[in-house]
Each structure stands twice: as structure tokens, then as C-alpha cells.
């Protein structure tokens, strides 16, 4: 048990999900934290992280699975309202493809002309202007999410 706790204490995703590091949180409840990706593919790119440590989706209990999917629906509606994308991709990269060593789901607004394959490469994205607007984007999305969650 002690070894498992060490891994959790060292887990970057646990630190992000439990507000131990500075992030741009747009939505949070008892089960999940949703925050803007620090290196966004597009404006409004959000990560959904369970607060409890899970590495893989098949480890979820029913409550966590429901919380993640409910957050994905809520965030998708907010991103559509805020940024009017041509579409939204929702994805999760597990195992050795998971930089956080913690389950996280991406909600990514997309434009038709973009090649989404670059999402999976190490190529740099031209996103410096989007990064500079992260606080404003957080404010905009958080307000929308709060209004939508209340209804």
C-alpha cells in the first residue's frame, strides 16, 4: 500500500486534479477537475481529470465514469457556445502515451481545415497567442459552464 501512495503523491495528474499546482480550472465538482490544457491545440482545449488516482479508464468505479462523461457533455456544450468550432474531438491517451501518469480526457475544439494528426506528433503548434489568452479563455468558459450547470 505504501508504494501505491508514493506513486500517487508523485503523480502530476493527481496534483493538477487536486489543485496542488496552478492551473486554469473551468469546472470542478467532488469527482473531477476540468482545466485548460497548458499547451492547447485550439482555444478552449480542456482536460478532464478525476480527483482520485486512476491511470486507465477500465479502473473507474461507476461514479467516476459518470462524472467524467457528464463533464465531457457539459464542457462540449460550453466550448461549442464559446468558440463555435466545426467539431469537437474527445480523446484519451493511456499507458505510455499518457504524459500525466493519470487518466485525463481531452475535449478539443476543431476547425475543418486543421490536420488533427498533428495532435499526436511532437511537432510544435502555432499556439502562442492562444496560450497568452488562457486566463481570459478560462474566465469565459468557467462562466458559461457555471450557467449551463445551473440549468
Which grid coordinates are listed for 141?
468558459
CA 50 to chain centre: 10
pLDDT one-digit tens code per residue, 63-92: 999 999 999 999 999 999 999 999 999 999
Return the CATH number at 88: 3.30.428.10
Alpha carbons 135 and 146: distance in angstroms, whole number: 16
Which grid coordinates are listed for 84?
463555435
140 phi, psi to nearest 5 deg: -65, -50
| Cross-strand pairs, 32 | 50
Q: How many domains does the chain have?
A: 1
Alpha carbons 48 and 103: distance in angstroms, whole number: 8
Render each residue's pLDDT in the chain as its tens digit; 151 residues: 333 333 477 899 999 999 999 999 999 999 999 999 999 999 999 999 999 999 999 999 999 999 999 999 999 999 999 999 999 999 998 777 777 889 999 999 999 988 777 777 777 888 999 999 999 999 999 999 999 988 8
Q: Which domain holds residue 35?
A: 2-149
pLDDT one-digit tens code per residue, 35-45: 999 999 999 99
Amino acid at each position: 500500500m505504501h508504494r501505491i501512495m508514493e506513486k500517487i503523491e508523485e503523480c502530476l495528474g493527481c496534483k493538477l486534479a487536486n489543485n496542488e499546482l496552478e492551473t486554469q480550472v473551468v469546472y470542478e465538482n467532488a469527482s473531477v477537475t476540468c482545466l485548460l490544457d497548458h499547451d492547447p491545440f485550439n482555444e478552449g482545449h480542456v482536460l478532464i481529470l478525476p480527483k482520485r488516482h486512476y491511470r486507465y479508464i477500465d479502473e473507474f468505479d461507476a461514479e467516476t465514469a459518470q462524472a467524467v462523461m457528464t463533464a465531457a457533455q457539459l464542457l462540449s456544450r460550453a466550448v461549442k457556445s464559446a468558440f463555435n468550432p466545426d467539431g469537437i474531438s474527445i480523446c484519451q491517451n493511456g499507458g505510455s502515451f499518457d504524459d500525466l501518469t493519470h487518466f485525463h480526457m481531452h475535449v478539443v475544439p476543431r476547425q475543418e481545415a486543421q490536420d488533427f494528426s498533428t495532435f499526436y506528433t511532437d511537432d510544435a503548434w502555432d499556439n502562442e497567442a492562444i496560450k497568452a489568452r488562457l486566463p481570459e479563455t478560462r474566465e469565459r468558459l468557467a462562466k458559461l459552464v457555471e450557467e449551463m450547470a445551473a440549468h
